Amino acid sequence: MEWINEKAKTLQQGAIRAMFDRANGMTGVISLGIGEPDMATPALVCDAAKEALDKGITHYTPNAGTLDFRKAIAQKSYLKELHYDPASEIIVTNGGMGALSLLFLVLLNDGDEILIQDPQWLNYVAQVAYCGGTAVRVPTDAAHNFEMQPETIEALITPKTKALMINTPNNPTGSVMSAETMEKIAQLAVKHDLLVISDDVYNTLLYEGAQAPSIAGFPGMRERTVIVNSFSKSYAMTGWRIGFVAGPAAIVDRMTKCQENFNACANAPGQYAGAIALDHPELCEQLRQIFERRRSILLEGLAGIEGIKSNDPKGAFYVFADISSFGLSSEEFCNRLLDEQKVVCIPGSAFGACGEGFIRIAYTCSDEDLHEAIARIKAFCAAL
Ligand SMILES: Cc1ncc(COP(=O)(O)O)c(C=O)c1O
Mean pLDDT of all residues in 8-22: 86
Identify the pLDDT of residue 295: 98
Q: In the predicted model, what is the mean pLDDT of the chain?
A: 97
Query: What's the CA gap between 131 and 120, in Å, rounded?
Result: 18
**Ligand 1 centroid – CA 3 distance (Å):** 31
Identify the pLDDT of residue 130: 95
Does 17 have pLDDT greater than 90?
no
2 Rama sector, left if φ>0, alpha if ψ -120 to 50, beta otherwise: beta
Q: What is the pTM of this model?
A: 0.97
Ligand 1 proximity of 240 Cβ (cutoff 6 Å):
no
Ligand 1 proximity of 93 Cβ (cutoff 6 Å):
no
- Which domains occur in the chain, in start order? 6-41+282-383 (3.90.1150.10), 59-280 (3.40.640.10)
Ligand 1 proximity of 230 Cβ (cutoff 6 Å):
yes
Query: Which residues are paired to 378 by β-bridges?
Result: none
Q: For 105-140, what is each residue's pLDDT tens digit?
A: 999 999 999 999 999 999 999 999 999 999 999 999
Q: For 284-332, what is each residue's pLDDT tens digit?
A: 999 999 999 999 999 999 999 999 999 989 999 999 999 999 999 999 9
**For strand 243-246 and strand 225-230, is the pairing parallel, antiparallel, or unpaired?**
antiparallel
**Ligand 1 centroid – CA 349 distance (Å):** 19
Q: For 361-384, what is each residue's pLDDT tens digit?
A: 999 999 999 999 999 999 999 999
Ligand 1 proximity of 199 Cβ (cutoff 6 Å):
yes
Q: Give the closest residue (by CA) to ligand 1 atom 14.
A: 35
Q: Which ligand 1 atom sits nearest the alpha carbon of residue 94?
A: 9
